[in-house]
Amino acid sequence: MITNKINTILNNSQQGDIDYMICNYIKMNLKEVAFMSIEELARKSYVSKAKISKFIKKLAYDNYIAFKDDCLLELEIRKQVTNTNYFLTKKHLHDSLSWIEKNLMKIEQSQIDYFVRKIKEAKHIYLYGVAYSHLLCQYVQYEG
């Protein structure tokens, strides 16, 4: 997925790096980028068309059309995640929150402090999940 590829480059590049700047622009403007020509993307990200072409190859896409297709797929997945969240019922949400509250009472504060400290120290954080947990992981990744 495009977000995974973009985040990998953002997390492993310097802010002044050209790839970093292109990734940052794409991440912040994915809805527009999905419909831009290569020339428009080059102009908006202040690089040459050749640099965008090279960058697309670096992301492992055969061409700019394949890149745009993945951008559109990403937007569709985000839309589905949003729609799925919309259809959660109040009862399901209430039951989930009750379960979380009940289980949080079993966790000691020192365990939470340790966990938060380790997250803050981490250079990378990878989230994996199944079903709704997977959707939550995707949401956290998009927002993070």
Averaged pLDDT in 10-residue chunks for the chain of 144 residues = 87 88 93 95 94 94 93 85 59 73 82 86 77 73 70
- Residue 93's pLDDT is what? 66
Output Rg (C-alpha) for the chain, integer angstroms.
Answer: 19
- Residue 139's pLDDT is what? 75
Domain ranges of the chain: 2-74, 88-143
Q: Which CATH class is domain 2-74?
A: mainly alpha
Rounded-to-integer distance, Cα 73 and Cα 117, Å: 35
How many CA atoms within 13 Å lie on the side-chain side of 120?
A: 6
- Residue 122's pLDDT is what? 84
Q: Which helix (H) or strand (E) holds 134?
A: helix 132-143
- Residue 53's pLDDT is what? 95
CA angle 34, 38, 44 (to 5 degrees): 80
In this prediction the pTM is 0.57
